[in-house]
Chains A and B, each alone.
Chain A
Amino acid sequence: MDHRIRVPDLVIIVSFLLLNAIPAWPASSRLELSFQSSAVKVFQDEPTPGTSATEEVSIARDEYRSFQLLVAAQGKDLHNVTVNAGPLIAEKSAKTEPRIQVNLSLVGYVLTHADDRRPWGKATKIGWWPDPLLPNRPFDVAARQTQPVWVTVYAPAGTPPGTYTGKLSVMMGNRRVAERSYQVEVFNVTLPKEQVLRNAAFMPSGNLEAQYKVPGGINGKPFLHLYERWARFAYEHHLGPAFDMLMGWNQTELRKPLEAGSLGPTPDMLDQKFGPASHVTWPVRWSPKGYDFTTADQLIDMALPYGLKRFCIAIFDRQQTWEQQDPKTHAAMAKFLRAYVALLKKRGLDKYAYVYNADEPGPKMWPTVKKNYEFVKSVDPQLKTWLCLNNVKGVRALDGFTDMWDVYIRQFDQSGVARNLQAGQPVIWGLCVYPHEHPNLFIEYPAMDARIVGWLTYVYGVSGFEYWGLNQWGPNTGRKDWAPFDEGSTHTTWQRTRWPLGDGWLLYPGPHGEPLSSVRFENLRDGFEDA
C-alpha cells in the first residue's frame, strides 16, 4: 500500500484542519452583538440608537434587572442561533456565585396594522412591535435584521455584595461562534419581600380556564394550582391580582361571548346553583352548609407574604340604577358580604377588604354610587368601598361616598383628588384606554411609559397602581399556536382585541400553563422596584 500523501490530498487535509481549527470565523463574521437597555423597544428592521459594546447591571438583592443582547445578522441570514448564559464569577474570589439567577427570553413580535384602534392618532410605525417574551430556544435572524435576547438577572437575599462577571455564549448549531461578557454589581441593599405599594390588577380566572381547559375545570385543584402560579408571577412583578382574585360576588354583565365586557365574570366563574338572583363567582362557591370560602382562604395564604393589604371581595353592577335592581339581589349580596367579612375578621384581614362600586360611573349613575356606599355601610360600617372614576367632576360630586378613590393618572390633577389625598384619604390610580395620553401601557408606546409609572406613584404619594387586565386576551383566548414556540421565528400571530394593542394584557399564555411576561410588564416591575 502506498502511504505517501499526494498534493491534492494535502490540500484537502489542510483545508479540513483550517476549517476545524477556526470554527468561529465563518459564522461570527456574519453576526454582530451589542447590548441595549431594557427600557428601549428594539425593532428588528431598524437600527437601534444607543447600543453598547459592554453591559453593567446594578442590582439590589431580591431585585430583578434586565438588559437586551442584540444579535444582528450582517450580509446573510443566520439559522439555528442559540444564546446561553454561563455562571456568574465573583471578582474578589474568582469563584462561581450560584445564587444569582440569569434568565433568558427571546423578544417576540406582534404585527400592527394601519386600521388598528389608536385613540392617539397616527401610528409611529406599522409593522412588527416587540412585546411578548418567549421561552429561550434556537432562533433565526434574517439578513440585516436584529433579534433581541432579553436577559434578566436576579440576586436573591443573602447574595454577597460585590462585582460579578457573566458570559453569554452564542451558538450556531453546535458551534460556539461568539461570546460577550457583562458585569453585575450587587449592592448591600435588600428589597423587602412584602410590597409597600398596594397595587392591584384584574386577572379573570375564567380567561385562564378558557385558555388552558385544565382537567377538573375551574373548580378543580389543578386549576387552582395554575391560577396560583400565575398570581405568584404577577406578585413577583409587584402587580398581583388583588383587584379580583378574592372577588366572590360579581354583579357586572356576564362575559358572553368570552371577549365581551371587561370586568364581568365568564359563565364558568359564576356559581349557577343560586339561580338568577345570584352573582356568586369563583373563588367562592356554595355548599349545603353555606358559602364555601376554602379556595379564597388558600389564595389569601398564597398572597399574604407579598403584603396583601388591599383587595376587593365584591363588585356592583355598572349599568342598572339602584332602583332598577332587584331587591332580592341586594338581600343576597348583604348575606354574602356578612359571611365573607366574618371569615376575614377571623384572620384579621377585614380591614383590607373593599367592595368595588359601579365601575367608571357617569353622572347618571352617581346617585346609585351613593346608594351602593350606604348599602355597604348598612351591612357593616367598617367595610370599605372602592370607587374608580373616569370623569374628573366625579371626585367633588361624590365626596363623602367612598373609602378609596381610584382615578386615572392623567386625570389626577384635573379631578382635584390631591385634596383628598392631603386629607389622608386613600388614593390609588390606574391606566386604561381612556385617557390615552402618556404614560400608558399600549404596545405602541415607549417602554419608558411603563417604567415611569412607579416613579410617578412615589412622587405623587399615591398608595398604589391598578390595572384592568393582565390576561384580557379577547379573541386570542384559547389559542395555543399564537407564537411559534418550536420554530426559528419570533413573529407571533397575536390578534388585536377591541382595544388598542396591549390594553388589557401584560402577560401572554405560554406552553404548559407558563405565564410569559412582556417588555411592558418587565419595565413596570423595574419602575415599582425603583419606587
Chain B
Amino acid sequence: MLMMNSRGEKSEAMQIAARVARSPEDYTSDPAAIQSAHVALLKALARINTH
C-alpha cells in the first residue's frame, strides 16, 4: 500500500520492485535489499507529505 500511494514517485523502491519482478529467486537470498527499499519508500512518501 505504500507503493500504491506513492503516486509514481521514482524512488529506489520502484527500481528494486522492477528487479524483484524480473528475478524473484535472487531476492529470496537478499532480505536487506527489500528492507532498505521499504525505508526508501517511507522517506519518499514522507517527502511528498511534507511538501
Contact = CB atoms under 8 A, between A and B. Distances in A.
Interface of A: 37, 39-40, 50, 58-60, 63, 161, 187-189, 191-192, 195-197, 238, 438-439, 445-449, 451-452, 455-456, 458-460, 526, 528-531
A526 B2 CA distance: 10
The residue among A40, A50, A448, A449 with the most chain B CB atoms within 10 A of its own CB is: A448
Nearest to B4: A196
Contacts of B18: 459
A189 B3 contact: no
Contacts of B45: 60, 187, 189
B44 to A, nearest CB: 9
B27 A192 contact: no
B10 to A, nearest CB: 14
B25 A438 contact: yes
B2 to A, nearest CB: 6
Contacts of B49: 188-189
A530 B24 contact: no
Contact of B2 (A37, A189, A238, A439): A189
A192 B45 CA distance: 13
Nearest to A36: B31
Given A187-B46, A531-B2, A459 B32 contact: no
Interface in B1-51: 1-5, 13, 17-18, 20-21, 24-25, 27-32, 34-35, 37-39, 41-43, 45-46, 49-50
19 contacts: A40-B31, A58-B38, A58-B39, A63-B2, A187-B43, A187-B45, A187-B46, A189-B2, A192-B1, A439-B24, A446-B28, A447-B31, A448-B27, A448-B29, A449-B28, A452-B24, A455-B17, A455-B34, A459-B20
B1 A191 contact: yes
Contact of A60 (B24, B25, B42, B50): B42
B31 A448 contact: yes
A455 B2 contact: no
A452 B13 CA distance: 12
B43 A530 contact: no
B31 A37 contact: yes
Given A438-B25, A456-B20, A39 B31 contact: yes
A160 to B, nearest CB: 13
A174 B3 CA distance: 45
Contacts of A448: 27-31, 34
B32 to A, nearest CB: 7
Contacts of A530: 1-3, 13, 34, 37-38, 41
A526 B13 CA distance: 14
Given A60-B42, A196-B4, A452-B34, A459 B25 contact: no
A189 B31 contact: no
A85 B44 CA distance: 30
Nearest to A529: B1
Contacts of B43: 187
A39 B20 contact: no
A446 B1 contact: no
Interface of B: 1-5, 13, 17-18, 20-21, 24-25, 27-32, 34-35, 37-39, 41-43, 45-46, 49-50
A456 B24 contact: yes
A411 B27 CA distance: 19
A530 to B, nearest CB: 6
A531 B24 contact: no
Given A446-B28, A459-B18, A531-B3, A39 B34 contact: yes
Contacts of A60: 2, 42, 45
Q: Which 7 residue pairs of A and B lie closest in terms of their CB atoms, listed nearest first? A: A39-B31, A459-B21, A448-B28, A446-B28, A187-B42, A189-B45, A187-B46
Given A187-B43, A458-B17, A531 B34 contact: no
Contacts of A439: 24, 28
B31 A438 contact: no
The residue among A191, A197, A445, A531 with the most chain B CB atoms within 10 A of its own CB is: A531
A449 B31 CA distance: 10
A440 B39 CA distance: 25
A196 B1 contact: yes
A343 B8 CA distance: 39
A342 to B, nearest CB: 34
Contacts of B35: 37, 39
A157 to B, nearest CB: 13
B46 A161 contact: yes
B6 to A, nearest CB: 10
A449 B25 CA distance: 8
B4 A458 contact: yes
A531 B20 contact: no
Contacts of B41: 530
B21 A438 contact: no
Nearest to A446: B28
A523 to B, nearest CB: 9
Contact of A189 (B4, B20, B34, B46): B46
A445 B45 CA distance: 32
A40 B32 CA distance: 10
A90 to B, nearest CB: 17
A458 B28 contact: no
A277 B35 CA distance: 53
Contacts of A197: 1, 4
